[in-house]
Every structure is written in structure tokens, then in C-alpha cells.
Structure 1
């Protein structure tokens, strides 16, 4: 999941886990029905080894060749009609689409993302990744499933197998996708551009989940409505007139101008947005100069911009250029010397969980796991390109929920020490109890799909 900051995760976890955190039984004491028994058996017989394989052999974004092939094989062997290379090309593997048409009824899409991260794993699991990979720019690095996409693929396979075994219980069409390049925010759009909703059955409902380190294993959290943010990457190239550091009056210092821009940008959020409209402008990097006594002629600012609504997003993006140009003008630069503002495309749109689908799904999950195991949380400013599947002319209702990835005991231990558990994207994060996370996610996805597709 893209760009979730450690502090934000901690704050979100407190709100998400407060209800029933002490008395919740991760073994789901409501009982073991046939569905859960079947999933537990499949985990022991098949899914556990599959998860460990995915974890030990991650691949970078747009380089998921072996991962996509293995996922395609699993879905094909489960009985689905599988198409590979959706959204790919000669150099990039693209995504996997598996379809099973089972009579009349709605079409439900279940999605899992496939890519790992350029992180050297530092966990203590027996199946630790020691693999390296070369990214699309030719840079080699260690690779790790530090964002738990391995659990997503495993649960997708688990749900696929359960739905096939229970096909007498439902009617309609099931579409399962393995999506590349979520960490770059590119994979969903590439699959859509390659006909995901035209070459294959157009879904009536889209479902997904994400394993989250800040949520206790055995618990599910959700947010109806806006759940995650628009994510924009912005570069600001600040021009100046270089010279000797001893004679600043003969220059136009881009570092000084950058500092003025950085301070002024915060007024866009604090003084131009309603306090009820969230927004974030963070300058993550400033690069300029080569030596102590040289005033450079250019500085480069790298920004991340977060929002929920399209209106706030547009206001922040246009405001960045307005503020940067105004500061340059006040410093006496000519118009042709004003900063150049570049907004990276495509961006990642805000994740909107359609409330009706969200509440229907939550009702099903609470029936299975209990009220204290399924808890409403607060929106966060991280980003997820699962949002793209709602932002088409079809406006397909979507719902993503979060499954716990760290045991309550470990979370309590970190809290007692004044620490925060390793977050998603940390080299120290792997689910403490992957069987709990995967079994619960598989059961939740299967149960919701069965409810939507139930024969009447």
C-alpha cells in the first residue's frame, strides 16, 4: 500500500482497535462452521506453502513475471478461465484475470495485488526473502513483500478454491484479478486501459482487502465512504541566479526562495481549506548546491500532496504553482525565471468505499466473526490504486477492508515499551500469525461473495 507513514498508522490503529481490544478472542469463538473448517484444512494442505513461496520470492513492480505465472497457474488449476499479460507488454508481465461464469446473476470481482518492494528483509521468519530484483530503470535491489501482498494473493487463491467448491450455492460470474504495480500506483490503470472492463465481464461489485500491521491479527477494520486519499507527486524546480556565497546580494538564492515557498505552502492547508476538508502538503526532499560557499542557480523540491475530494485536490495543485510564482515575484525574479511546477501523472485517486456495499459486507463479516472483531476505523491519508476500479464510466461500487497482521500480544508489548510495531513497508514487518490473517481474509472474501451471488 503506497506511502503510509508510521505515525499515521499508529494513530489510525488506536482508533481502529479500541473497541473490544482486550476481550476479543482471535479464535472466533462463535464456532467452526463448514466454511471455516474447509478453509483451515486448505490452509494446512495448500495455502500455507503457497504463502511461504510468495513471501520468499517477491518481485518488484512491473517485474512480477514468476509471481503472475504462479498465480495464473493456481487459478487455472482451480478451474477458472485465465488470461495473462493484461496491461503488460514485451518487457512488463501485466496482470492476471480469471473468470468463472456460473449461470445468471451479478458479476463480482475480487482483486489482489502482486508486487513487492525494494527492501532488504530483516524479519526472523524461516521463509525470509533473500531475492534481489532489477527495477524498470535497471537498478538492482533486495526485494521483500513488506506490504503483505503475499497474503493478498494467497487469500485470493483460497477464495477462488472455496467458491469453485461451492458453485452449487451461488449463481453469477466471478472475476479474479492479480494486479501488478500497486506500489507505483500504475497497475490498476494499465489493466483498465487494456480492457479489463470490456474484454472481460464488467463487475457489478468490486471487493479487496489489505493486511495491515497496525491492526491486531483476528480483527477486521473498515471505513465507509472516503477511506484513503488522492495521492499526487509534485516536483518544483526553483530557479535562481548563482554566485559566490560571500556576495549574496549579487545573486538570487534558490535555497532561500525554496525556504520561503516551503513555509508559504502550508497556508494552502491551514488558511485556504475548510477545517472539515482534509489536505496534506509535505515537502519530502529539497536538493540544491554543491559546496559551502557557492550559491546555486537551481533547487529541486519533491512534494507529496494528499486530499480526498477532487475539488480540494485541484485547489492544492493550482495553489502550489500560485504560491511558488508569487514568492518568486516577491523576490524580484522575472516571469521567465518563475519556478516550474510538474505534477506527475497518473496520480492515485482517493479510495471511496461505497457505503451500501460496505455496510452489507460488514454485516456478513460480523455474523461470522462477531461485533468486536469487525470495527469501523477512521480514514487515512495513505493511497491505494484499487480506487481506480470505481473511477470509470461504470462507477462500479467498491469496498476494501483491512485485516490484522500483528498479534495483540505483540502490539501490547510495543505499547508498553513506548514503541510502535513495524509498519507496512518496514523491513521488519511480516504477519506474526499469517494463518490467522489469511484464513480470516479468505473467509471474509468468500462469505461476502457468496452472499452477493446467493441463489434465491
Structure 2
């Protein structure tokens, strides 16, 4: 926290966590081991450090309190909520605005803002355990096979989107993992699944979570299996920009960095919306390009959407931001966004 006289409190957030991927970029500074910063969080933290340093050097140009937050566990959507539950705002004061940015595979040196108030989908993550009764593969009639039940769940969940959701309201249901058994001649006793639900309204997320839970229980009942264990392990609201805060940031970016690109809503999710504290804190969120000009120019396609489909994106083991222009632009974007709120008239 950097207190610099009377004025608003501006929160700048960056994330700390990496992903369990083996890096395949071939860069001399590649991560060694089973983890890499495949979503740009290392760059986010570097930009935050740079913005804090610049603002500290220019204390004569602004007044207020800067709250720099290094947030853990964004990838599991649990870090922001944990910090708030730990008393972040009680200990350091409720901010007047919360700001954050994220790298995307657009040309480095560019900044993109949402084309509307909704930026990212809300999401819920569910862990499911299907209980069966283990046995010998030669005597399936003496067991209750959770693998068959899990397979039926995966198939049936597709109908939650295809037949229970308004086609005009985007919803995604993804079974990201399914684990059961260890040998071909053993029917396992359990099968575990991890499921993600995404939608552009919190109400739609609630409805879909209920539908997923209903399907899992119904398929277990159809298999004469015991009741399953279903737990919502993480939840993040829809990421919406506050109109006034977003306009202020966008004007600052256009003044300092030039025209901004427009980014349509994405079904990706973030736990940054928790910092809004149920709407009591205005939030603004934007994107920073990270691809080298050569990579972007050489990508197949005649339109930005076509190029985006062919370049290594976030969560790819080949995700490789161009360091100098990415960090320079990201640091400037955070700095001027903070100044725009410290100097608000």
C-alpha cells in the first residue's frame, strides 16, 4: 500500500500463479519443470511492479492511496475470494475502484477494451464422485460399474446445452477430467469427474449447475448406484465493467497509447469480479496484446479472428509474449489508468 495524501484508493491487481504445463516455446528463459506462465501472469506482475515504481517516483503528480494486490490462485478461481475473506478490505480499506488487465494474443503494443459491459463469462466448477461397486471384469453382473455411469453422464450433459438452454443465451458445459480404475480386468469402485459451467449471466450459471447435478444424480439412480458426491469447488461472477470507470480508463489509454481495439465477450472466466464486492466497488478490466509483430503478421488468415485461431493462445505450452513491447505497454496501461482515477475531476 502506498499512501500519498488525501484522495481515492485505487486497487491494481495482478496474479501470481502458473499452470501445470511443460513449456514448449524453446526460449532461452523457458520454465524448467512441469509448470509455466502460460497465461501471462508473470507479465501481469511485472507490469504491476513497474506501475507502482512509476507512481512512487511521481508522487508530486497525484494524491490518494495505491493498493497493489498480488493475487494467488486465479487459475483455480479461489484466490480473490480467499483474500477478501481474509479481510483485505477490512485491513487496507475498501478501494474506490479496482483495476486489472490481462494478456491476449493480439499484437504487442496494443490495448483492447470490451465491446460492451460484459467481458467474460461467469463460471462454476464442480467435482463429482460417482460411487459404484468394484468387482472382476469377468463378472460385471456382480458389480456396479461407475465407468459406464460416468460415460452416460458425459453424453447426457450435452443435452443440457442442446435441449435445455435458450439458443440465444450462450452456455458451455465441459467435462475437463474423468478418472476411474487402474487395470483392464478390474471394475473400479469410483469414478471422479471435474466439470465446468460457463454462461453470461449468474442466473444461467445457477440453472446449469442445477441441471448438471440433476443429470449426475439421475444417471446414478438409473445404474442403481449410490448417491454421488457433488461439490461446487469454485465460483466466479460474470466479469462486467463499471460504465464510468471503464470510460475513464479507455479515455486515458486512448490519450496515452492511441486507439484501442474492441474485444468481444469471451467464455473464459476470471475471479477478478469478486473485488467488486457485490457491486460496491467499481471495476474496470482490459486486455494487453502480447504477440510479436512478426508472429502476428506471419499468422495465417486475412482477419484478426482468423489469425487468432492459428497463433498460440493463453494456456498453450507455446504461449510466448514478446517481452519488451508487452511489458512497456502493460506498465503504461496500468499507470495511466490509476492516474486517471487519482486525478478525476
TM-score normalized by structure 1? 0.68
Deviation per CA, 1:41-92, whole angstroms, max 9, x where unpaired?
xxxxxxxxxxxxxxxxxxxxxxxxxxxxxxxxxxxxxxxxxxxxxxxxxxxx
Q: Matched residues in 2 for 1:147 and 1:219: separation?
A: 17
Question: What is the SS of the residue equivalent to 2:325?
Answer: helix
The aligned counterpart of 2:272 is 386
Question: What is the SS of the residue equivalent to 2:90?
Answer: coil
The aligned counterpart of 2:330 is 441
Instruction: Report deviation, 1:365.
Output: 1.3
Instruction: Report deviation, 1:242.
Output: 4.4
Question: What is the SS of the residue equivalent to 2:95?
Answer: coil
Cα separation, partners in 2 of 1:241 and 1:190, compared to 1, 3 Å: closer
Q: What is the correspondence of 1:317-356 to structure 2 with a 5 Å cutoff?
A: 317-331=209-223, 333=224, 337-344=226-233, 346-356=234-244
Cα separation, partners in 2 of 1:263 and 1:393, compared to 1, 3 Å: closer
Q: Matched residues in 1 for 2:242 and 2:169: separation?
A: 19
The aligned counterpart of 2:263 is 377
The aligned counterpart of 1:412 is 297
The aligned counterpart of 2:19 is 117
Deviation per CA, 1:405-439, whole angstroms, max 9, x where unpaired?
1024312323269972222233322212x221111
Deviation per CA, 1:374-433, whole angstroms, max 9, x where unpaired?
11211112222212101x25621111111011024312323269972222233322212x
Instruction: Report deviation, 1:205.
Output: 0.7
The aligned counterpart of 1:108 is 10
Cα separation, partners in 2 of 1:208 and 1:312, compared to 1, 3 Å: same
Q: Matched residues in 2 for 1:297 and 1:194: separation?
A: 38
Range moving further from structure 2, 287-296 or 166-175: 287-296
- For the Cα contact (< 8 Å) 1:170–1:455, is it kept in 2? no
Cα separation, partners in 2 of 1:293 and 1:350, compared to 1, 3 Å: same
Is residue 421 from structure 1 mapped to residue 272 from structure 2 by the alignment? Answer: no
Q: Which ranges of structure 2 fall in alignment gaps of 5 or more residues?
A: none
Q: Matched residues in 2 for 1:260 and 1:430: separation?
A: 39
Question: What is the SS of the residue equivalent to 1:269?
Answer: helix
Q: Matched residues in 2 for 1:142 and 1:250: separation?
A: 41
- For the Cα contact (< 8 Å) 2:39–2:314, is it kept in 1? yes
Deviation per CA, 1:125-159, whole angstroms, max 9, x where unpaired?
443334xxxxxxxxxx5443322222222221222
- For the Cα contact (< 8 Å) 1:227–1:379, is it kept in 2? yes
Q: Matched residues in 1 for 2:255 and 2:66: separation?
A: 23
- For the Cα contact (< 8 Å) 1:242–1:294, is it kept in 2? yes
C-alpha RMSD over aligned residues: 2.6
- For the Cα contact (< 8 Å) 1:206–1:397, is it kept in 2? yes
- For the Cα contact (< 8 Å) 1:226–1:353, is it kept in 2? yes
- For the Cα contact (< 8 Å) 1:227–1:378, is it kept in 2? yes
Q: Which has the higher contact order (CA 8 A, sep 6+)?
A: 2
Q: Which ranges of structure 1 fall in alignment gaps of 5 or more residues?
A: 1-97, 131-140
Q: What is the correspondence of 1:138-157 to structure 2 with a 5 Å cutoff?
A: 141-157=33-49
Q: Matched residues in 2 for 1:455 and 1:270: separation?
A: 47
TM-score normalized by structure 2? 0.87
Q: Matched residues in 2 for 1:179 and 1:114: separation?
A: 6
Instruction: Report deviation, 1:279.
Output: 1.7
Instruction: Report deviation, 1:351.
Output: 2.0
Q: Matched residues in 2 for 1:382 and 1:393: separation?
A: 20
- For the Cα contact (< 8 Å) 1:228–1:380, is it kept in 2? yes
Is residue 275 from structure 1 mapped to residue 167 from structure 2 by the alignment? Answer: yes
Cα separation, partners in 2 of 1:446 and 1:260, compared to 1, 3 Å: same
Cα separation, partners in 2 of 1:247 and 1:388, compared to 1, 3 Å: same
Cα separation, partners in 2 of 1:236 and 1:218, compared to 1, 3 Å: same
**Equivalent residue for 1:128, pick from 23, 30, 40:** 30
